[in-house]
Chain A
Amino acid sequence: MIAANAIQLTVVTPETTLLDEQAAVLRFPLEDGQIGILPGRAPMVGRLGIGELLVTTSKGSIRYFVDGGFVQVKGQSVTLLTNQAGKLDEFSVADIQKTFDEAIEREVKTPAEQAHKQHDIDRNRKLLELLKK
Chain B
Amino acid sequence: MANARLIIKRLKAVKNIRKITRTMELIATARFKKAMDRASEAKAYTQKIAEIVGDLSAADLPFSHPLLQKRDNEERVLLLVLTSNRGLCGGYNSGVLRQANICLKDLEKSRMNLVLEVSGKRGISSFKFEGQKTDLEFTHFEDKPSFEEVDKVAKRYVDLYTSGAVDRIEVAYTEFQSVARQTAKVETLLPIQDLSTDDKQEQSLAVDYEFLPDAEAILEEIVPAAFKAKLFKCFLDAAVSEQVARMVAMKGATENADEMIGDLSTKYNRARQSQITSELSEIIGGAIALE
Contacts and interface: CB of A to CB of B under 8 A. Distances in A.
Interface stretch (A41-49, A53-61, A101-109, A123-131): A41-49
Contacts of A84: 148
A68 B147 CA distance: 15
Contact of A45 (B148, B211, B228, B229): B211
Kindly state the interface size class of chain A when it binds its partner: 20 to 34
A13 B147 CA distance: 9
Decide if the interface of chain B is mainly helix, strand, loop or mixed: helix
Contact of A14 (B56, B218, B228): B228
B52 A72 contact: yes
B146 interface: yes
Contact of A43 (B56, B209, B213): B209
B209 A44 contact: yes
Contacts of B212: 30-32, 35, 44-47
Contacts of B56: 45
B94 to A, nearest CB: 30
A2 interface: no
Nearest to B215: A45
A87 interface: no
Contacts of A43: 207-210
Interface string A61-81: 000000011101010000101
Lowest 3 CB-CB distances: which A-B pairs, in order? A46-B212, A14-B147, A44-B210
18 contacts: A12-B44, A14-B45, A32-B212, A44-B212, A45-B56, A46-B211, A47-B213, A47-B218, A69-B225, A70-B221, A70-B225, A72-B55, A81-B45, A81-B48, A81-B52, A81-B225, A83-B228, A116-B155
Given A45-B55, A74-B207, 5 more contacts: A31-B217, A44-B211, A70-B49, A79-B48, A110-B159
Interface of A: 12-17, 30-32, 35, 42-47, 68-70, 72, 74, 79, 81, 83-84, 110, 112, 116
Interface of B: 38, 41-42, 44-45, 48-49, 51-52, 55-56, 146-148, 151, 155, 159, 207-213, 217-218, 221-222, 225, 228-229, 232
